[in-house]
Every structure is written in structure tokens, then in C-alpha cells.
Structure 1
Amino acid sequence: MRFTSEQRLDDGVLEREFTLGEIPGTLWTPESAAPVPLILMAHNNGLPKAQPRLVARARHSAAYGYAVAAIDAPGCGDRPCSAADEQARADLRRAMQAGEPVDEILESFVGPLVEKTVPEWRTTLDALLALPEIGGPVGYAGWTAVGIRLAVVEPRIAAAGFFAGGYVPRAQREEARRVTIPLLFLLQWDDEGNPRQRALDLFDAFGTKEKTLHANTGGHTGTPRFELDDGNRFFARHLR
């Protein structure tokens, strides 16, 4: 892991950009003399780590006392995008503009993206836990499809907060039954692009005995700010 820049933000959080091989990432850490728990944070369906809503969530959690890391998924953010990915995105835009079904397009794009992204998150986790300012345990927040796979294959993740707003491939809907860690699931009740019933069915499928659903009225980007505080309290119960 090589840090390429750093700045101390107004809230006291230290923001550092890093590279790990071909993986670009950002690490936010609080002012603390002791090793702090870590939260891996990903935006739905591979949106960039610099996406303002993700950055705001990351800074909020870091100011609360966690180390928070985000990476760009393959072909996302500043990473090179393959011709196949470009075509899938073009097909998705065309179908959405035409009001056509998009599930199969999303399946062909998001499914392979999960397969490529999860190994990179595990490599990043190895490097992060080697830093003296980061201890354990580890939480995960954000992109549901990647989070499900990580919760199944990565024993170092102790709790997860998922956002229901992204497409979840069929493979991860099946894997949800194998998720056994404590779970907080956020649902926007009026999310225009994500069927409510599918999200409720997914919540029902999670195998964990400790799962909580928070549903709020409003569209895709309307998650209330107080959910940030509730999420931090959820992680405090399981990572402190």
C-alpha cells in the first residue's frame, strides 16, 4: 500500500489517497492515539469512491471514531473501463430511456463486477489491517451485492450495513441465506428504480438471527441523515 496524498480535514479527520497495485482507494482516520475499528465502505453497483454521498458518509463515520476505507471497483471511477463494460452501460442507458426491462442487463454487468471486486476488497483488507492505526474488528457498509459475498467469504467482517438501492444479482440473492453476521438493512420505500418487494424478500432471505430493517419514505437518494448516526451506533454495538 502506497499513500499518494493526505490532508487534514476541518472535522479533524485525516484523508489519505492510496494505491495498492492497480487498486486506488481512500482511507479516512480519526484523531486517535489507539488503533480503531475499520469500516469498509462501498457505493452501490461500483459508483466511484469520490462520489459525494459516499465521502460524506465516510467522513461522518471517521469523525465518530472509525477508520473508513473505500476503493474504486474494476472499471469504475478512474480505472480503465473495458469495451464490454462500456457496452453494458450504453445498453442500460438505452433501455432505461426506452422504459424497457433492465434486469438482465444489470445481471450481466453487476454479476461479473462482484466477482472481480470482492478479491480486491480482501487484498485491501489485508493491507489495511497491517497499519498500526487500525485494529479490529471490521465492519462493512454500502453496496449490498458485494457486501453479501464478503459476509459469506470473509470471516474478519463482524457486522454489515447494506443499502437496498442497488441491483443484487441472482447469485448473491441465493448467498444471502448464508449471511450470519449482525445486519442493518436500509430501504427507501419509494425508490423509483428498485422494486420494494424485491428488497423485502432479500431481507427475509438473510440467514442471520440479528437483522434490522430501517425503511424511510422517499426516493433513491432520500435516506435521512439520522440514519448515519443510527448506522454508527449499530457498528458501535458490534465493533467496539
Structure 2
Amino acid sequence: MHFTSERRLDDGVLEREFTLGEIPGTLWTPESAAPVPLILMAHNNGLPKSAARLVARARHSAARGYAVASIDAVGCGDRPRSAADEQARAELRRAMQAGEAVDGIFESMIGPLVEKAVPDWRTTLDALLELPGIDGPVGYSGWTALGIRLAAVEPRIAAAGFFAGGYVPRAQREEARQVTVPLLFLLQWDDEGNPRQRTLDLFDAFGTEEKTLHANLGGHTGTPWFEVEDGNRFFDRHLK
């Protein structure tokens, strides 16, 4: 892992950009002399690690005493995308705007994204846990489809917070039964991109005995800020 830049932010959080082979990432750490737990934070559907909502969440968690890391995995953020990837994204946007069925398009786009992203995240986790000042346990926060796969296959993840997404690939709907860590699942009641009943069905499918659903009125990007604070309290219970 090679750090390419660092800056101390107004809230005392240290923000460092890094590269790990071809993987670009950002690490936010608090002012702390003691080792701190780690949260892996992923944005939805390949948006960049620099997205404003993700950065705000990351800084808030870091200021509370966590190391927080985000990466641009293969095909995500600023990393190269194939012509097929771009075509699938364009077709998905068109179908959603037209109110057409998107299951087939979604499978062809999101399924491969998850498959490619998981190895990058696990490689990054290996490197992060070797850094001084970062210790387990590890939490995950963000993109539901990716989080399901990581929580199912990565034993170092001890708790997960998912931002509701009823549209997850078929493979991840099946893998939800293998998710046994404590789970906080956020649902936007009027999410235009994720049918409510699909999200409720997915919540039912999770295999964990400790799962909580928070539902709020509003569209996909309308998650109230207090859910970020509640999410940190959730991680406090399970990572500290």
C-alpha cells in the first residue's frame, strides 16, 4: 500500500489517498494513540469513493473513533469501464426512466460488478489490517449487493450496515441467508429505484438472528442524517 497524499481536516480526521496495485482508495483515521476498529465503506452501484455523501459519512465515523476506508473497485468510480459496462449502465437508466422491467439488465450489470469488486476489497482489507493503528474487528457500511457477498465470504467482518436495495442480483438474494453477523438495514419508503416489497423480502431472507430495519419516508437519496449517527451507535455496540 502506497500513500500518495495526506491532509488533516478541520475535524481532526486524517485523510490519506492510497494505491494498492491498481486499486485507488482513501483512508480516514481519527486522532487516536490506540488501535481503532475499521469500517469498510462502499458507495452504491460503482459511484466513486469521492462521492460527497460517502465522504461525509466516512468523516463522521472517523471523528467518532474509527478507521474508515473506501476504494474504487474494478469498473467503479474513476477506474476504466468497458464499452459493455457503459452500454449496460445507459440501458439501465433508460429502462428505469421509462418504467420498464430492469431485472435482466440489472443482473447483467451489477452481478459482474460484485464479482469483480469483492477480490479488490479483500485485498485492501488485508493491507489495511497490517497498518499500525488499525485493528479488528471490522464493519461494513454501504452498497447492499456488495455487502451481502462480503459478509457471506469474509469472516473478519463482524457487523454490517446496508443501505436498502431491493434490486440485488439473484446470487446475492440467495447469499443473504448466509449473512449471520449483526445487521442494520436502511429502507427509504418511497425509493424510486428499489421496490419496497423486494427490500422487505430481502430483509426477511437474511440469516442473522440480530437484524434491525429502519424505514424512513423519502426517495433513494433522502436518508436522514440521523441514520448516520444511529449507524455509528450500531457499530459502537459491535466493534468496540
| TM-score in terms of structure 1 length | 0.98
Aligned mates of 1:120, 1:103 — CA distance in 2: 26
Aligned mates of 2:160, 2:201 — CA distance in 1: 18
The SS at the match of 1:229 is helix
Q: 2:191 matched to which residue of 1?
A: 191
Is 1:145 aligned to 2:152, yes or no?
no
Q: 1:58 matched to which residue of 2?
A: 58
Aligned mates of 2:54, 2:20 — CA distance in 1: 20
Query: Which letter maps to 2:71?
Result: I
Is 1:28 aligned to 2:28, yes or no?
yes
Aligned mates of 2:156, 2:46 — CA distance in 1: 22
1:1-240 alignment to 2 at 5 Å?
1-165=1-165, 167-240=167-240
Query: Which letter maps to 2:153?
Result: V
Contact 1:185-1:213 at 8 Å conserved across structures: yes
Contact 2:166-2:199 at 8 Å conserved across structures: no
Contact 1:25-1:49 at 8 Å conserved across structures: yes
Contact 2:96-2:193 at 8 Å conserved across structures: no
Q: Give 5+ residue unaligned stretches, structure 1.
A: none
Aligned mates of 1:89, 1:211 — CA distance in 2: 32
The SS at the match of 1:238 is helix
Report the RMSD for the aligned CA atoms in angstroms. 1.0
The SS at the match of 2:142 is strand
Query: Which letter maps to 1:91?
Result: E
Query: Which letter maps to 2:157?
Result: I
Aligned mates of 1:73, 1:6 — CA distance in 2: 21
Give, in angstroms, the shift of residue 156 of structure 1. Answer: 0.3
Give, in angstroms, the shift of residue 97 of structure 1. Answer: 3.4
Aligned mates of 2:166, 2:110 — CA distance in 1: 10
In the TM superposition, structure 1's runs of 4+ consecutive aligned residues that sit over 3 Å from their partners are: none
Aligned mates of 1:99, 1:34 — CA distance in 2: 51
Residues 82-102 of structure 1 show CA distances to partners (whole Å, capped at 9, x for unaligned) of 111011112122223333222
Percent of aligned positions that are identical: 86
Aligned mates of 2:59, 2:125 — CA distance in 1: 19
